[in-house]
Amino acid sequence: MEISGTVLFIDDEKHVLNSLDGLFSGTDLKILKAADPREAIELFGKEEIAVIVSDNHMPGIKGIDLLQKVRDVSPDTLRILMTAYADLVTAVDAINKGDLFRFIVKPWEDEALIQTVHDAVRHYHLVRSLKTGDEATLLGIAQTIELKDPHTRGHCENVAAYAMLIADALNLSGELKKQMLYGSWLHDCGKINIPDNILDKKSPLIREEYEIIKNHPRWGADLALQAGMPEYVVNIILYHHERYDGSGYPAGIRGTDIPLEARIVTVADVYDALTSERAYRKKYSVKKAVDIMMLMRGNIFDAEVFDLFLEVCGKKLLPGLSRK
């Protein structure tokens, strides 16, 4: 499904701009072009621009410096740099600092450029929705992301339900529980940047594909931070794949260094994943899922949180299950 939005391309070479205009002519995107950085900045006073794509080498100002100016003028606009191989270190450093969304190496590959721009437009709309959304909007965002993988439909709501039972048993405050609800719904929002062919793959992932999957907590946390979401929400999104023994990702933190809200959602997330159909396997029975999770107690999971999960969820959601 196409997504609409305005994209601004900047290059001092007219034939490059014409080529880019033609490349995106069959999409729902509105394409603006500028050959001069000053003209480009002026457009931000007239248009809501979702994405800007700038060449790096232009007379008078480097593209990377222009994009830093754009960040001050329009913070929500996603910034993409077109660069030569010689500038890759600079581009990667700018991404790590948060100055860029992505970079494209010239000469570009058409398919890769189209995908990158569409990812950026989608990211822009997602951040804007997170900023202005009420509960219904946040849940709707989570459900929309789940549509990328039909096997995960209902996953965010299930995870939230289990996490809320644990939070109730711990007598957490109403505000913290509300933020945990939002974090549970949105814990996988970073998957919006994962290609569908990886999410839908019916065979085991190869190492390179798994490395892409492992980026989704950071991508999701970046979205939440840009949207100004509360700390507890960001913590759940960022840390829900950390492991109690420190072998998780993305930060490899361990024990109680992992925020409590993330430790709770990790248990809820794994249980629902095990008891749900996936593209690459059938769902496990409740007994089998719990047997598997018992092996994770104290290494993957916080043992106390896991035991509490068995106690409260065993009574309310898992008939016949008791604490072991």
pTM for the whole thing?
Answer: 0.79
DSSP-assigned beta bridge partners for residue 80: 53, 102
Q: What is the pLDDT of residue 323?
A: 42
| CA-wise closest residue to 152 among 241, 277, 284 | 277
Whether omega before 250 lies within 30 degrees of 0, making that bond cis, reads yes
The region, left, alpha or beta by phi > 0 then psi within -120 to 50, assigned to residue 208 is: alpha
Query: Which regions in the chain score pLDDT beneath 70?
Result: 1-2, 85-88, 90-92, 94-98, 149-152, 279-280, 315-324
Query: How many Cβ atoms are within 10 Å of 115's Cβ, its own excluded?
Result: 13
Looking only at Cα atoms, what is the longest distance across the chain?
72
DSSP-assigned beta bridge partners for residue 301: 297
Q: What is the pLDDT of residue 1?
A: 45
- Give the CATH number of domain 134-316: 1.10.3210.10
Q: What is the pLDDT of residue 150?
A: 62
Query: Three-class SS of residue 247?
Result: coil
Strands 102-105 and 29-34: unpaired
Query: Three-class SS of residue 60?
Result: coil
pLDDT (tens digit per residue) in 138-180 = 998 888 887 776 666 789 999 999 999 999 999 999 999 999 9
Report how far residue 303's alpha carbon sits from residue 15's, in angstroms, rounded to the nearest whole number.
62
| CA-wise closest residue to 50 among 116, 102, 144, 123 | 123
Domain boundaries, the chain: 5-127, 134-316
Strands 51-55 and 102-105: unpaired
Q: Report the interhelical angle of 88-96 vs 63-73 (nearest 10°).
A: 20
Residue 105 φ/ψ, nearest 5 degrees: -85, 130
Q: What is the pLDDT of residue 247?
A: 97
- Give the CATH number of domain 5-127: 3.40.50.2300
Q: What is the pLDDT of residue 279?
A: 66
Q: What is the pLDDT of residue 210?
A: 83
